[in-house]
Amino acid sequence: MAAKKAEAASAKTPEAGAVLITIKNGCTGCHSVDASPLTGPTWFGLYGSQVELADGTSLIADDAYITESILEHYGKEVAGFAPTIMPPYVFTEEENRGHHRIYQDFEVILQRLES
Ligand code: HEC
């Protein structure tokens, strides 16, 4: 009983809402969450990791980088991927905050949604 209640509550968290946004927008058609190779770079372990860019520089995937990657990603190209493949997206500030949480905790969130 208690578990069911917790489950219902967790489905209403911003994290779960943000996962639904990514599914609705087809993000996970190009980005895997389990490190398997798709059209875009995997999200597995992305948050806080070092990203190699096509121009030879690298940076840490923090909130600012992730926001830019989603909203204005044409500026920074991940090594081995073409930035023009990803379509432009427009999100509200709240939706975008949800995205940051996804990358911070993606595995936990997905497990929660699947169970
Ligand atoms: C048609 C395929 C496609 C779709 C759909 C797509 N992306 Fe991407 N995405 C890419 C490619 C290719 C790159 C790498 C090129 C670049 O750096 O822009 C990328 C890069 C990114 C990065 C930077 C990743 C990294 O490893 O540094 C983030 C974050 C991201 N996408 C988020 C999203 C989100 C959120 C959505 C849905 C709203 C989405 N993407 C939908 C293809 C896609």
Report pTM.
0.77
Q: What is the pLDDT of residue 12?
A: 53
Q: Which of 110, 27, 115, 106 is nearest to 73 (CA)?
A: 27
Q: What is the pLDDT of residue 99?
A: 65
Q: Which of 101, 113, 111, 108 is nearest to 47 (CA)?
A: 101
Ligand 1: residue whose CA is nearest its atom 23: 69
Q: Residue 53: pLDDT band by 50, 70, 90 thresholds?
A: very high
Ligand 1: residue whose CA is nearest its atom 43: 86
Pocket test for ligand 1, best of 23, 31, 70, 84 (most atoms within 8 A of CB): 31
pLDDT in tens, 67-85: 778 777 666 889 998 877 8
Ligand 1: residue whose CA is nearest its atom 22: 69
Cα(5) to centroid(ligand 1), Å: 35
Atom number, ligand 1, closest to the C-alpha of residue 91: 38
Beta-bridged to residue 59, according to DSSP, are 51
Q: What is the pLDDT of residue 14?
A: 56
Q: Is residue 37 classed as helix, strand or coil in its secondary structure? A: coil
pLDDT in tens, 93-115: 777 776 666 665 554 444 454 44
Which domains, from first to last, does the chain contain? Answer: 13-114 (1.10.760.10)
Residue 58, pLDDT > 70, answer yes
